[in-house]
Structure 1
Amino acid sequence: GLTIIAGILPMVPHPHWIFRGFEFGKFQFSALGIVLLAIGFSWNGDPIVTALQISLGILLIRDGLILIKYSPLYPLKKAEPTTTGDSPIIRVLSANVLQFNTEYHRLINMIKSSAPDIVVTLESNSAWEEKLTEIEVDFPHSVKIPLENTYGMHLYSKLEITEAQKHFFVADDLPSIQAQIQTSDGRSFTLFAVHPPPPSPSEEPTSEERDGDLLCIAKALRKIDGPRVVVGDFNNVAWGRSSVLFRKTSELIDARIGRGFISTFHARFLLLRVPIDLFFHSEDVIVADLKAMPNIGSDHFPLLAEFRLTDNTSAQEEEIQTLEADELEEVNSMIRDGKKAEGDREDFDS
């Protein structure tokens, strides 16, 4: 019964964390549901158990159709690099460092060993900024937003940042970074770094700010020409309602589809892990690899993405989905609610 309730609650279109929180555990609840369904066959003849089994079976089929997309079993035609017209490989390392984590050397050593071109840090405050000055010899271009409320972020790049903006779409303490970056062969692409707040009993009571922030970013992305990538801690799973609306609004591609769950949180609890550090890209970006990296002392595993810019957009155009008319109104409503919501974030340096 509880498993059925856990499957039904996310269907309720309400932003409270009780409903949105159960979106995160869809894989775990589905696995538990399969076990319970198998056990239920030993209760043949009991009408209540039969009714529960039928209900559970329907939910498992529904959730299975959603989750299969995030499995290597999903029949997805991968875009292949071309011999001409593609940029060199670009490597982006995104890490939610956990503001209170003082094992700075673990991330610094990972940066040195994995050799990314771009590093995005989330939850990075002034202490993290000071420690990361060590990497600035190799990463001369940067955008820095040190905050003490667990929503600071930094962008470090070996590639030239030709233009950068700091956005605060729904609140003046919830930033995102937009950067125009030039590759070694003279191409240009836009990178967005994001980190909205989660709906949870310990943080925000609803998903309103998270959803509003993500969808503001999605609308901004749709207006940008050329290659685009988005990376960060979405505090939402790829199959969550606002993540799906983000993908459709921005008209970007979820790099996880057809690759696997690639769970990044929680680093300390294996059975609770979910994919909330996400990566989206436009059709003129070919993702070569996407993987979770080893633990750096945070509650998140860093995410490493490798991609190329390409002139061949036709191979991935069919993966792009757009909003229906009723979904557009849903998006606009979520943005309005997100801007009206009043988050309660503590400044841990005060």
Structure 2
Amino acid sequence: MSIFLMILAGIVIVATALPALPCTRWWAQASGFPRPQLVGLGLLVLAALPITLEWGLAAAVVTGLLVLAIAIQLWRILPYTRLWRVQAQANDEAADAPKLSIMIANVQMENRDAAKVRHLIAVQAPDVVLLVEPNEWWSSQLASLETTYPHHVLRPQDNTYGMLLFSKLPLHETEVRELLNEGVPSIRTDLELTDGRRVRLYAVHPPPPMLGHAEDSVPRDAELILVAREVADSTMPTIVAGDLNDVAWSQTTRLFQRLSGLLDPRVGRGMFNSFHAGHVWMRWPLDHIFFSPAFHLRSLQRLPAIGSDHFPLAASIVFVPEDAGEHNPPAAADEEDERDAASRVTAAHRCDDDVTP
């Protein structure tokens, strides 16, 4: 039993250290996903160690490292609990301000429960719907939405990177772009709100760092950084939504926020874990809706399962740019952040050059 506990303690310690290393390999990045689970495992091991171990130098060192690992994990996930100060302030009182509701869902390309998706959209009736991973089958199954949502961008694909964007609001200057990776599109468009003002929407789904997709996090990180830079260079109020294939507490997501200045409505409210819908014991927040301080939050929900491995996510926001100063925004990017961002983008372009015929 003592050897078994030492192995479990070692897993927690190593999994805590790996995300802090300058390593972009998929196994190092993935170890930063299950932080809540590692906290739970670490606490169980910590409670059992005094009962089973003979105390000596080795036991003291392992226990000390385990306590440190648990503390680091807690520090990373506490902002995504109600124990933390909210980042995006709520506003339910701006009756005359334009409101916007958005629903995002990774439908999982192999999933065939399109009826659940159609029903959920009908019940929620959001202004904007973003679906990722649709192929031609999904596009045909959801064609009826084009009546309710007369403005749409349809990019079904058979490689799990398709996108369908449906909007009740007019879309302007829409572009479907492959920022870094061929076959991995993103959408940039301007939404016309009910009062005629426009805001920008980015729909993103970068490749995950995992076997079968990308062996490291370089393509994902660089795409998010490029979007963050565009947001920072623009005066247009912005929303970034999609399956980022990254958790809210990762170094990359936090760098994205510092570079872009966008708010995460999860901070101070909860994790709203969106993946994996099929495993209660192994869930984390991979799907995101970020927005500029010009918006205030009305509601944030994780929606019922749709047969996919992701839960849908929905947010309702209100456009009150005159109250932008009421939030608790992320810290602005410093010189070290800029160097980090530049190196990640350079690495992505280098990788792209390496695979170009």
Given the two structures, how large is their TM-score scaled by the length of structure 1?
A: 0.93
Report the CA distance shift for 1:274/1:78 in structure 2 as closer, same or farther (over 3 A).
Answer: closer
Q: 2:282 aligns with which of 247, 267, 272?
A: 272
Q: 2:70 aligns with which of 50, 57, 60?
A: 60
Match of 2:251 in 1: 241
| Pick aligned residue for 1:200 from 189, 210, 216 | 210
Distance 1:84 1:255 in 2: 18
- Give the match's secondary structure for 1:268: coil
Matched, 1:10 2:19: yes
Which position in structure 2 is the counterpart of 1:314? 325
Q: Equivalent residue for 1:348?
A: none
| Alpha-carbon distance in structure 2 between the residues aligned to 1:89 and 1:258 | 22
- Other-structure match for 1:175: 185
Match of 2:5 in 1: none
Task: State which drifts further: 159-168 or 294-303.
Answer: 159-168
* Alignment of structure 1 residues 68-217 onto 2, 5 Å: 68-76=78-86, 79-81=89-91, 83=93, 87-217=97-227
Paired residue for 1:39? Answer: 48
1:29 match: 38
Identical residues among aligned pairs (%): 30
CA contact (8 A) 1:234 1:277 kept: yes
Return 123-132 or 106-115, whichever deviates more.
123-132
Distance (whole Å) between structure 2 residues aligned to residue 119 and residue 100 of structure 1: 20
State the 1:186 CA deviation. Answer: 2.0
**Letter of the 1:108 counterpart:** R
Shift of 1:46: 3.2
SS, match of residue 326 in structure 2: coil
Distance of 2:346 and 2:110 partners within structure 1? 32
Instruction: Provide the rounded CA distance (Å) in 2 between the counterparts of 1:25 and 1:80.
Output: 29
What is the identity, as a one-letter code, of the residue corresponding to 1:150? T
CA distance in 2, matches of 1:188, 1:224: 13
Relative to structure 2, which stretch is displaced further, 76-85 or 260-269?
Answer: 76-85
Within the alignment, does 1:337 sit opposite 2:347 as a pair?
yes
Does the aligned pair in 2 maintain the 1:179–1:190 contact within 8 Å? yes
2:276 paired with 1:263: no
Structure 1 residues 292 and 83, CA gap change in structure 2 (3 angstroms): closer
Deviations 1:267-314 (A, max 9, x none): 111111110101111111111211211111111001111111112111
> SS state of the match for residue 257, structure 1?
coil
Quick check: 1:51 aligned with 2:36?
Answer: no
1:224 aligns with 2:238: no
Cα deviation, residue 342, structure 1: 4.8
Q: What are the ranges of 5 or more consecutive residues in structure 2 without an aligned counterpart?
A: 1-9
- Deviations along 1:191-215, one digit per CA (max 9) or x if unpaired, are 1111001111232110111111111
Deviations 1:102-146 (A, max 9, x none): 111110010001111100010112221111111111100011212
Deviations 1:321-340 (A, max 9, x none): 21111110110111122233
The Cα shift of 1:8 comes to: 1.0
Which whole-Å CA distance do the structure 1 matches of 2:351 and 2:298 have between them? 39
Contact 1:44 1:50 survives alignment (8 Å):
no
Detail structure 1 runs of 4+ shifted over 3 Å in the superposition: 82-86
Task: State how far apart, in whole Å, the 1-side matches of 2:90 and 2:23 are.
Answer: 40
The alignment covers a number of residue pairs equal to 342
SS of structure 2 residue aligned to 1:193:
strand
With the length of structure 2 as denominator, give the TM-score of the two structures. 0.92
Alpha carbons of structure 1 residues 144 and 339: separation in structure 2 relative to 1, 3 Å: farther
C-alpha distance in structure 2 between counterparts of 1:167 and 1:100, whole Å = 24
Look up the equivalent residue of 1:235 and give its one-letter code: N
Stretches of structure 1 lacking an aligned partner (at least 5 in a row)? 344-350
The 3-state SS of whatever aligns with 2:111 is coil
1:224 shift after superposition: 2.1
Residue 163 of structure 1, CA deviation: 2.3
Does structure 2 conserve the Cα–Cα contact (< 8 Å) formed by 1:227 and 1:309?
no
Which moves more between the two structures, 228-237 or 70-79? Answer: 70-79
